[in-house]
Structure 1
Amino acid sequence: MKRKILLHPDPRLKKVCAPLPDLNDELRALADDMLQTMYEAPGVGLAAPQVGILQRLVVMDCIKGDTEAPRPMVMFNPEIVSASDELNVYEEGCLSLPDQYADVTRPAEVEVRWMDRDGNAQQQVFDGLWATCAQHEIDHLDGKLFIDYLKPLKRQMMTRKMVKMKRELARS
């Protein structure tokens, strides 16, 4: 089932999510819904707070195009356990801020630990777009958006555009 994606500014996007004590079928179904929502948006990552669920769950798939098979990932309670000193700059966007993009500097490589949909502990090193996406989505679980990395003026400008867009959507 496709979920509605919250748009910034929304107070739920600024909340810190508590760790999940346990996995259950309801959470697995939520993960499936989130993957469907992410693919249809289209996007490469989605965090539970973006669909109004304050749980530590992210989904991502950074395979773009038709040459490679999709690689959907479901991460319950993801956490970054280490990050490289080397940095990367990527132009980031967010499904909660449609059509808003900005360069964000983040560690080029991160090691992430999480629980998969079967409850098994996983740990993996990500680089490139995967590293950026993992950091971006885990930030959502901590109430942080990519615009929080920007200078105040640019952040305010994007927020104003989103407020205007939300007003226009409410009218239609």
Structure 2
Amino acid sequence: MGWEDELFALFDDLEDQASALHAADRLAEVADRSRAEYQQVTLASRLMASIGTAVTLGLRGVGPVSGTVERVADGWLLLSAGEHDWVVNAAAVTTVEGASVRSVPELAWSPLTRLGLASALRRIAEAGEECVVHLADGGRHDGVLRRVGADFCELVEGQDRRTVLIAFTALAAAQSRA
């Protein structure tokens, strides 16, 4: 092997080393960018990607509730659990098992998803059906939602038909009785 062949072999070796270093740097850069981008992913966007998926939600004051994610909107989600539907206050969700590994950025959400928790509770009130309102502190109220305000709902319960006002901040979920 002549000196020219040795020189070209040296250049090839240096080029291979430079390519390997560049690839390692690129992997580190991609990992850094990936971590930085993931900071923008919200729990709601992961739940939005989980529509139609069976999940188990840990709910403050309620515990685990399993069902299929039917709808996700601003501050709430609808979970179908067999015979019962749950309107869940997103602020009461502590854990989610079984969610999609993907996410749907809020920019891609339908304008209907901007309807808040009050809108979902108004639908229950309009139906006039019995429900169970679970509180984040573990309490619960059985009755019929009558009216829904900006940040609270009115529930009529018991045979004496007493009215209880429930602040949204205290509400974990409203469960259908059907």
> Structure 1 or 2: larger strand share?
2
TM-score range, shorter chain: under 0.3
Q: What TM-score, normalized to structure 2?
A: 0.26
Q: Per chain length, whose mean CA-contact separation is higher, i.e. which structure has more relative contact order (CA < 8 Å, sep 6+)?
A: 1
Determine which structure has more spread, i.e. the larger CA radius of gyration. Answer: 2
